[in-house]
Amino acid sequence: MAPAKKRNVKPEKSQKGVKTAKMDPNSCVERILESRKHANDVFDLLELLQSEDEKVLISAMSACTTLFCTLLERKELFTGKLHPEDEALIGGFTAEEKCQIFMRHRYNSCVEMLLEQLSHEEFNVKENALCCLIKCATAQGRHPLEDLDWSEHYSFPRELIQAVVENLVSKTTDNSLLISRFQQFLEMEDLRFYVMSSIRESVGQVMEKNKGALMPVYQNNVFTLMTNINMPSQESELTSFMVQQEGEVQPVFSYHKCLEHKRVFERMWLGFLKYKLPSNMYKKILVILHDSILPHMSKPTLMIDFLTAAYDVGGAISLLALNGLFILIHQHNLEYPDFYQKLYNLLEPSVFHVKYRARFFHLANIFLSSSHLPVYLVAAFAKRLARLALTAPPTALLIVLPFIYNLIRRHPACRVLIHRPSAERELIKDPYLMDEEDPAMCHALDSSLWELKTLQNHYHPDVAKAAMLINTPLSGQEDDINEVLEITTHERDLKHSQKKSVPLEFETATQLLKGGGNVLGQHFCLN
Amino acid sequence: MGKVQKKKSLADKVRKTKTSTEIKNNPFEVKINRKKFEVLGQKIKHDVGLPGVSRSKAIKKRKDTLLKEYKQKNKSNKFIDRRFGEYDTKMAPEDKILQRFAMERQRGHDKKDVYNLNEEEELTHYGQSLAEMEKFTDAGNSDDETEEKGLLSAELTASHFGGGGGLLRKKGPGDQEEEGGQRTKSRQELIEELIQKSKQEKRERQVKKEEAQELTEKLDQEWKSIQALMVKKTPKDADAEKTEEKPKVEEYDMMVRELGFEMKAQPSEKLKTPEELAREETEKLQKLEVHLTLISTLILSPTLPLIITVCVCVCVCVCACCGQADRLRRMMGDEGRDSSQHQVHMSADDLNDGFILDKHDKKTLAYEDGKWNIEDESEGGQDEDEAESGEDQETDAEEEEDDDEDGKEESAEEEGEGSIEKEDDDGHSDLDSEEEESENEEENEDDDVVSVPKPKKKSVTKEEQEAAKAELPYTFTAPENYNCLKNLLNCHTPDNQRLIVARMQKSNHPSLAVGNKLKLQNLLGFLLEYVGELATRNPPDLLTVDKLIPELYTLCQMFPEAARQALQSIMGDVAHSMEEVIEVNGHAPFPTLDMLIYLKVIALLFPTSDFRHPVTTPALLFIGQALTKCPVRSLQDLTSGLVLCCLAVEYVSLSKRFLPELINFLFGTLHLAVQDKTSLGYSVVPPFRRSGKHCDLLVVSDSESISSWSRKSLPLSACKHLELEEDRDRDQHRLTCLSTCLDLVKRCCLLYKELTSFTHIFQPIRVLLSKHLSSQTLPDSLQELQSEIVEMISSAPAAHRVLVFDKKKPIPLKLLTPKIVEVLDYGKKRGSSREEREQERLKHKYKKEFKGALREIRKDSRFLAREKLSEVMNRDAERKRKVRELFGSLATQEGEWKALKRRKRK
């Protein structure tokens, strides 16, 4: 192609290059614009675009952009199907046309070089290149280079954007910074629209090529780009466009419709989620799924497959999938068989140790807030939580205990768990079956919450106090779980830090390893 | 108006003549104030009003006062009648005269008359001597005799024959003075009367006196007659009592004396200051020491020391009980009352146990017994003692510790000991010396205790000590900052470092100077920092830390608040940084050795069993967090974890609190030792993982090392720096860790045996031990330990009583009897303060007075207007009368003149 040819020309000019490198790109631009005599100076400019020096590079980039934007405005670039340069020189074109074809070729090579610069090491250069490309795209959109099909003013520089996107979601480098810069341009509705469709295409192509194997860097870039897309919620919000249409009657294109946006968005995500994902990205997606993906989809139910698959994975991913499932069940009438049984089986010792504990309990609280749940189910949940509480850290205990109390309050039939006066004198073994997966068969309702009795001896004073509540009938008011969800241990300590007098140890300390039953002294020595 | 007034005045006249009863009975005079309703028991003053009477009274009063003023209004002169009692209606005229006379006499009684003893007083009238006047009377009298006699006679006749006597007689005395005519007669009469009167009075008085005397005599006699009746009984009774009383008194006296000799009535001990408490606690241990020495010498003096030892035992026990009870109370979460209870509790115990008394007795007796002399010898004469020092450890140790202090300290110490006696006698007269002494004692104390279990230290080069003794000064200034302390301590041996700190503490005791308290508080903070630094050194200098513990303890006892702050800030920093790391990574590295040392120090300084304690609770929380959030990645990590577990067990050893993190960690550690991780039958709790990179840390690689393994203590420095080159060493370390872990599990089993969920808590451990670990080859001792644990877990009762709420007291039914509140001040407004009530009262009074005054003023002005009007009317009437008179006279004149003219014409 033409730029390749030009580059072949370059070495000839490189002798002059020492001189031209020092010349001002802006004055060069002025000269070119002044008259066509200086048209060949474009080569100098393009050469500067290859420069090593960052400053020169940046100034050359801006100069090129101004040059070609002006040319586009003047319509001095060839429109329509472009012939190869050699052909153009031979073919029957007027001198004017030849000149236009020449410039058009230079423009193409300039864009290509700018795209190359998107993978430069320096962020400044990258950023500038991106801005320049967007400017070019804007100018090109306004003055399309294609022969216009007048029935449809479809003049968006799709190819250019597609190329930008493909360069952004690099397979080798993490472009998250540049992508966050790009987010600013994504405010423009049409750009966003085409970016989304080009992401979909890109993902499809790349993943197909890799046969669905994991590509962490690429997928991470795509994910960053996709999460940076802010979807409009109403049609009236679609106001800023990159390519403004002139004329009284504004034709309506697909990117003017909110629904179309949603559709593209949905397709993009589905296209992305179709392939295998790294597990940490799985979690990230699940974390944002409920509030930044599901609401912008035209058919959120399409996510069911993804979510059920995630829910079946187990562990933290299941916990996170719960949130999306909740929205589907709550707002989109999803019928999920054995939902509660699965929820019940999610309760494992690790539940209290994961980062998403607060979110899980928030959702579990919502799921179990229905008063139409069978008693055996609620009792099973309470008993299982109590059993798990035996291994939980105090911060989790301070959530679990009120949680259990709330369950008992909501379902007074569960009160037998903490108060069974009919069998007061009996000594019974715990009939509860921890390993039983079906809450209906685990005999939780026949058991008592002895675990809470045990926790009355917990070392954390607040936990012990909370566990003491089962000694008396529970108050009618439910505890607000959401209040305690986010409190850390440290915050709790602060509350009690003030105290008047400090009790002191009674037994005189004599040696480091002595005292307190001499456990440390028995197993360890000083040296 | 004039008419009305006239009417009124007429009515007044009529009224005046009538008696009050007459008026009250007259229905026209009485106005009845109608009541709205009857109130039982109410007294009403004004149910009946007499408007006429009151009005006339008021008018009269006005006439006397207001009218007079009005009349005098524009007059520049006025006549004031200053005669004595002239307007006093209550005085009888005779009295008036008498008084006036007496006054006159007094006025005439000049100074010069004082010496005029025998001379008769000159009587005067109007300033003229009566005697002289008498001389001239004859001549004068003759002139007006005729007229006056006539008058006089008329009077006399009138008086003698009683015609209209009242008026004239009344006038009489008044006239006597004014009218000089009657002078002689009246005077004689007067004098006669006077004499008569005085005589009469005298007689009357005499009669009264006699009568009174008679009456009293009579009464006396009567009394005597009655008295005889009364007396008859009483003297006998009195006698009987007297006779009985004597033996009683003796008994009582005996009792009193007995009681006096008993020691019960000693004044109770005052509330103890923390310093005293600390001293007592240390004394307790010292007593134990004394006790030991006494036992050894018991054979020599069989009786007294026995008592002493018993006393000592008792007091030690009681003292320990106090501490234990207090601890227990705090453990149950009895907050709030802590501070107050602490003191009260102790003092209450003091009353019972007679601890002070014992101490007192024991001390003095110990001296008398000569026991102290032995100790004294051991302290003082170290050189001579050298030979016999092998006899008992205690003296040796003391000597060793003290030998550099001796020179200076000895005398002071003795003084201190002495002061205890004194102080016990005169009730804490000298606190300072006592405090010092207590410190000294503590000093000895700690030295003893430290040295007793470590006899090997005795052999630590005497020369070195001697050299150090030569070097070390006796007083140290408290360090200004941490670096000062560090420089001061750095180049010394651990023992000397301790000595330096001890001396520093002594020479900066709060009682010695004002700023010392702050200095020592700072010292405490620096020491803690120093301890941390010692632990971070490579290799850690834990021996020094060990030596510094007693000093830290003493300082902490002195300044609990400062210790709390210092340790809290250390804890807070570390916990905070750990939390931050956890937030970022989800896990954190194990706490460093200095933190472990701090945790141990906290356990030594503060009670770990409290339900909520400002220092130990956060420390325990920190341990819990470290055990859950720090993944085990190396044997070094594991060692740190096991130290934390040991600490955790120590923390909960007394209170037996449930620490899930501890069980989880121990379980995870055991899991690390399981070789085959394919079919587990239990699930592991984070931070441990089912299988992975570091999951085989404790799996013994070489079975040979199992047989060669012998148990020995791990060094604490292993948490910091662990170099195990060979597989053999690694295996040894692994097995030691495993044995530690198993031992801790066993301790936990014992601790948590009573928990209802015991079996569920230890279920996974049981599965692990019985299914996996037992099949592996392990040293015999570990196998034994393991089977022991399994046995213990499976033998625990699985059946429990079902949960029921605590039994509540039934709430009593509401009673419907009215609540009766006694009201003592009826009619008063309640519910306000005394001042408010007083103010209310004053306001009310003011209002009433104001209204009354207004009404009075209105009445006054009305009265004045009336008076003025009547004046004008009178004047007009007078004028009319005069005019008419004139007209009349003129008319008569004219008539006469006309008649004359007519007559002339005729």
Close Cβ partners of B31 (under 8 Å, ≥ 6 residues apart):
B48, B49, B50, B51
Structure tokens at B625: 């967090």
Do residues A345 and A409 make contact, with C-beta atoms less than 8 angstroms apart?
no
pLDDT for residue B214: 92
Query: What whole-number distance in Å separates Cα of residue A62 and Cα of residue A55?
Result: 11
Name the region of A212 (left: φ>0; alpha: ψ -120 to 50; beta: rest): left
Query: What whole-number distance in Å separates Cα of residue A351 and Cα of residue A357?
Result: 6
At residue B60 the predicted structure's pLDDT band, cuts being 50, 70 and 90, is: very high
Q: Quickly tell me which residue has 């510790």 as its tokens.
A: B401
Q: What residue of B is the nearest CA neighbor of A418?
A: B803
At residue B432 the predicted structure's pLDDT band, cuts being 50, 70 and 90, is: very low
B465, pLDDT greater than 70: no
Q: What residue of B is the nearest CA neighbor of A495?
A: B614
Task: Return the CA Rg of chain A.
Answer: 34
- Lowest pLDDT segment from A202-206, A226-230, B149-153: B149-153
Close Cβ partners of B486 (under 8 Å, ≥ 6 residues apart):
B530, B533
Query: What whole-number distance in Å separates Cα of residue B738 and Cα of residue B736?
Result: 5
Query: What whole-number distance in Å separates Cα of residue B651 and Cα of residue B566?
Result: 20
Amino acid at A199: I
Partners of B333 on chain A (C-beta within 8 Å) are 461, 464-465
Q: Indicate the pTM of the whole model.
A: 0.57
Query: Using CB atoms and an 8 Å cut-off, which of residues 535-594 of chain B contact chain A?
Result: 542-543, 545-546, 549-550, 552-553, 556-557, 560-561, 563-564, 568, 572, 575-576, 579, 586
pLDDT for residue B136: 58
pLDDT for residue A476: 76
Mean predicted confidence (pLDDT) in B603-615 = 85
Structure tokens at B311: 């006393």
Strands (E), B437-479: none
- Lowest pLDDT segment from A96-105, A202-211, B270-279: B270-279
- B409-418 LR contacts (CB < 8 Å, sep 24+): B409/B440, B410/B379, B410/B380, B412/B436, B412/B440, B413/B379, B413/B437, B413/B440, B413/B444, B414/B376, B416/B440, B416/B441, B417/B363, B417/B372
Identify which of B449, B546, B614 has the shortest CB distance to residue A497: B614
Query: What whole-number distance in Å separates Cα of residue B26 and Cα of residue B52?
Result: 11
Residue-wise pLDDT for B499-514, tens only, equals 888 888 888 888 777 8
Contact B552 A488 (CB under 8 A): no
Contact A522 B713 (CB under 8 A): yes
Q: Which residues of A447-480 are buried (b: 16+ CB within 10 A; e: fewer)?
A: bbbbbbbbbbbbbbbbbbebbebbeeebeeeebe
Residue-wise pLDDT for A185-198, tens only, equals 777 777 777 778 78
Amino acid at B793: I
Cα–Cα distances (Å) from B320 to A506, B286, B328, B608, in that order, read 8, 14, 12, 17
Identify the top-confidence range among A376-380, A431-435, A499-503, B686-690.
A376-380
Query: What whole-number distance in Å separates Cα of residue B728 and Cα of residue B619?
Result: 36
Residue-wise pLDDT for B342-370, tens only, equals 443 444 444 444 444 444 443 333 344 44
pLDDT for residue B410: 41
Structure tokens at B278: 């600390």
pLDDT for residue B71: 87
Kindly state whether B715 is in contact with chain A, defined as any CB-CB distance less than 8 angstroms. yes
Quote the mean pLDDT of chain B: 72
pLDDT for residue B442: 42
B839, pLDDT greater than 70: yes
Torsional sign, CA B304, B308, B311, B317? negative
Partners of A383 on chain B (C-beta within 8 Å) are none
Identify which of A450, A501, A503 has the shortest CB distance to residue B756: A450
Quote the mean pLDDT of chain A: 75
Mean predicted confidence (pLDDT) in B560-570 = 86
Percent of chain B with pLDDT over 90: 10
Between strands B714-715 and A524-525, the pairing is parallel
A123, pLDDT greater than 60: yes
Residue-wise pLDDT for B755-779, tens only, equals 888 888 888 888 888 887 777 777 7
Cα–Cα distances (Å) from B830 to A23, B824, B836, B848, in that order, read 104, 11, 10, 22
Residue-wise pLDDT for B487-501, tens only, equals 877 777 888 888 888
- Lowest pLDDT segment from B189-193, B322-326, B464-468, B773-777: B464-468
B539 preceded by cis ω (within 30°)? yes
Q: What residue of B is the nearest CA neighbor of A523?
A: B713
Do residues A226 and A269 make contact, with C-beta atoms less than 8 angstroms apart?
yes
Partners of A353 on chain B (C-beta within 8 Å) are 628, 685-687
pLDDT for residue B5: 47
Query: Using CB atoms and an 8 Å cut-off, which of residues 405-434 of chain A contact chain B?
Result: 417-421, 423-430
Contact A449 B546 (CB under 8 A): no
- Lowest pLDDT segment from A40-49, B25-34, B468-477, B577-586: B468-477
Kindly state whether B647 is in contact with chain A, defined as any CB-CB distance less than 8 angstroms. yes
pLDDT for residue B327: 67
Query: What whole-number distance in Å separates Cα of residue B536 and Cα of residue B528?
Result: 13
Alpha-helical runs (H) found in A22-154: 25-34, 41-48, 54-74, 85-90, 95-117, 123-142
Query: What whole-number distance in Å separates Cα of residue B804 and Cα of residue B194?
Result: 111
pLDDT for residue B176: 43
In terms of residues, how long is chain A? 527
Contact A454 B756 (CB under 8 A): yes
pLDDT for residue A346: 82
Structure tokens at B210: 């006699």
- Lowest pLDDT segment from A297-301, B245-249, B692-696, B897-901: B245-249
pLDDT for residue A497: 53
pLDDT for residue B321: 55
Percent of chain B with pLDDT over 70: 63
Q: What residue of B is the nearest CA neighbor of A386?
A: B757
pLDDT for residue A92: 65
Mean predicted confidence (pLDDT) in B708-732 = 76
Torsional sign, CA A202, A204, A208, A210? positive
pLDDT for residue B357: 41
Residue-wise pLDDT for B847-870, tens only, equals 999 999 999 999 999 999 999 999
Nearest CA among B556, B629, B568 for reference residue A493: B568
Query: What whole-number distance in Å separates Cα of residue A503 and Cα of residue B564?
Result: 10
Kindly state whether B503 is in contact with chain A, defined as any CB-CB distance less than 8 angstroms. no
Do residues B837 and B829 make contact, with C-beta atoms less than 8 angstroms apart?
yes
Torsional sign, CA B341, B346, B347, B349? positive
Structure tokens at A189: 């509705």
Structure tokens at B539: 């290799």
At residue B404 the predicted structure's pLDDT band, cuts being 50, 70 and 90, is: very low
At residue A447 the predicted structure's pLDDT band, cuts being 50, 70 and 90, is: confident
- CA torsion angle B93 B98 B99 B100 (round to 10): 90
Burial of residue A60, with CB atoms counted within 10 A of its CB: 0-12 exposed, 13-18 middle, 19 or more buried: buried
Q: What residue of B is the nearest CA neighbor of A493?
A: B618
Query: Using CB atoms and an 8 Å cut-off, which of residues 448-507 of chain A contact chain B?
Result: 448-455, 457-461, 464-465, 470-473, 488-490, 493, 496-497, 499-507
Name the region of B41 (left: φ>0; alpha: ψ -120 to 50; beta: rest): left
